[in-house]
Amino acid sequence: MEELWIRPMKVEDIDEVLKIERLCFSTPWSREAFRAEIEGNHCARYLVAELGGLVVGFGGMWIILDEAHITNIGVHPHYRGRGIGEAIMRGLIETASRLKVEGMTLEVRVSNVIAQNLYKKLGFVSVGVRKGYYSDNGEDALIMWRNKYTKV
């Protein structure tokens, strides 16, 4: 079985990340948005999941003071159900820990129960709802938090 690698995203990864982004999200980020995150945002940390030389997933976060905000995470539909999303999230958690982050937060669609279950498995808890958060359909977002003392 091929080994999964979680590593920092590079500009050269953007084409593959964009393919995944378009498959996963109804309002995908642009090439320029990812380039700006990688090259110009000193708060941003982005990772990719590589399997057999192919980028099959990605995730990112912003580190602001002692908090991390997960910005996005996506796994190519053909590679879902293999623990890739969990590996990316664990990579983000490990990166945040190295940077002395106290807490991590994210928003997730209220309808995305699979993602919510993964986040709960990794120690995130629901703390509220952002009404009408998603611009594509007005869906609410569940706000989830995790602190540095959570063990998983």
* Residues annotated as catalytic (active site), given as ranges: 107, 119
Number of residues in the chain: 152
Instruction: Compute how many other C-beta atoms are within 10 angstroms of the C-beta atom of residue 135.
Output: 9
Q: Are strands 67-75 and 103-109 parallel, antiparallel or unpaired?
A: parallel
- What lies within 8 Å, CB to CB, of 126 at 6+ separation is 116, 142, 143, 144
Whether the Cβ atoms of residue 117 and residue 8 lie closer than 8 Å to each other:
no
- What lies within 8 Å, CB to CB, of 76 at 6+ separation is 19, 20, 23, 24, 56, 57
Q: Could you say which DSSP state residue 52 is in?
A: T
How large is the greatest C-alpha to C-alpha distance in the chain, in angstroms? Answer: 43
